[in-house]
Chains A and B, each alone.
Chain A
């Protein structure tokens, strides 16, 4: 994947988990970052768009940020139903394409 994410992350209930997404100048460095949540067996869901905006219905426990060519997703007050795969995505100006990170599996211990 052009965007690099750690394959896994974990935490106990109530903790904060942070997921990184590393890219380059032609994608994260120049365009917005978006995050998707996919609970196993279900369709992905847009979690964060335009770096730090939450669609209606997404709790404010989820927050996004961007700095340079990297971005992060933080999940605070971790809950068991946050167990899912999380993907970052951005437009790439060189490829003229949407690119995804490889995904991070979050486990609640």
Chain B
């Protein structure tokens, strides 16, 4: 079974950077997504990356500030976040692609990691 665990979230000041990790003990053959949920709000898609690490997509709200990447040596996936803003405050989930990267169907495997951006 593909199992992922998110980590790296904590309280940071606006404008600072943070890196989230997603440990994947059974790498999805199709790719990975990051999805976030602000407190009391709905789901917001953040970014996606194909299994080969080449094809990447970002939401307009994070484009140019966030970078999705993977390290095959340690089976980890990353979301590097810079120029953080208070509206980036959310619970961040990584999710494995079920069939196609570009179809919006993915499986949430972890409980998310909380990022709080506040001064």
Q: A interface vs B, CB < 8 Å?
A: 1, 31-34, 36, 38, 42-46, 49-50, 55, 85, 87, 89-91, 95-103
Q: How far is the CB of A47 from chain B (nearest CB, A)?
A: 10
With contact pairs A36-B43, A99-B45, A103-B43 given, residues A31 and B108 touching in the complex (Cβ less than 8 Å): no
Q: A43-B93, A50-B99 are in contact. Are A98 and B108 (CB under 8 A)?
A: no
- Name, among A90, A91, A95, A97, the residue most crowded by chain B CB atoms within 10 Å (CB to CB): A97
Interface size on B, residues (CB 8 A): 24
Contact with A along B44-73 (1 / 0, CB 8 A): 110010000000011110000000000000
How would you classify the secondary structure of chain A's contact residues: helix, strand, loop or mixed? strand
Give A64 to B102 CA distance when docked, in angstroms: 19
With contacts A49-B98, A87-B43 known, is A43 near B112, CB below 8 A? yes
Q: Can you name 11 extra interface pairs (CB under 8 A) apart from A44-B93, A89-B43, A97-B45?
A: A32-B103, A45-B108, A87-B42, A87-B43, A89-B104, A91-B104, A96-B102, A97-B57, A99-B45, A99-B104, A102-B42
Supply 19 A–B pairs (Cβ within 8 Å), ascending by A.
Answer: A31-B102, A33-B104, A36-B43, A42-B111, A43-B93, A43-B110, A43-B111, A45-B108, A50-B99, A50-B105, A87-B43, A89-B104, A91-B103, A97-B45, A97-B59, A97-B60, A98-B33, A98-B45, A101-B42
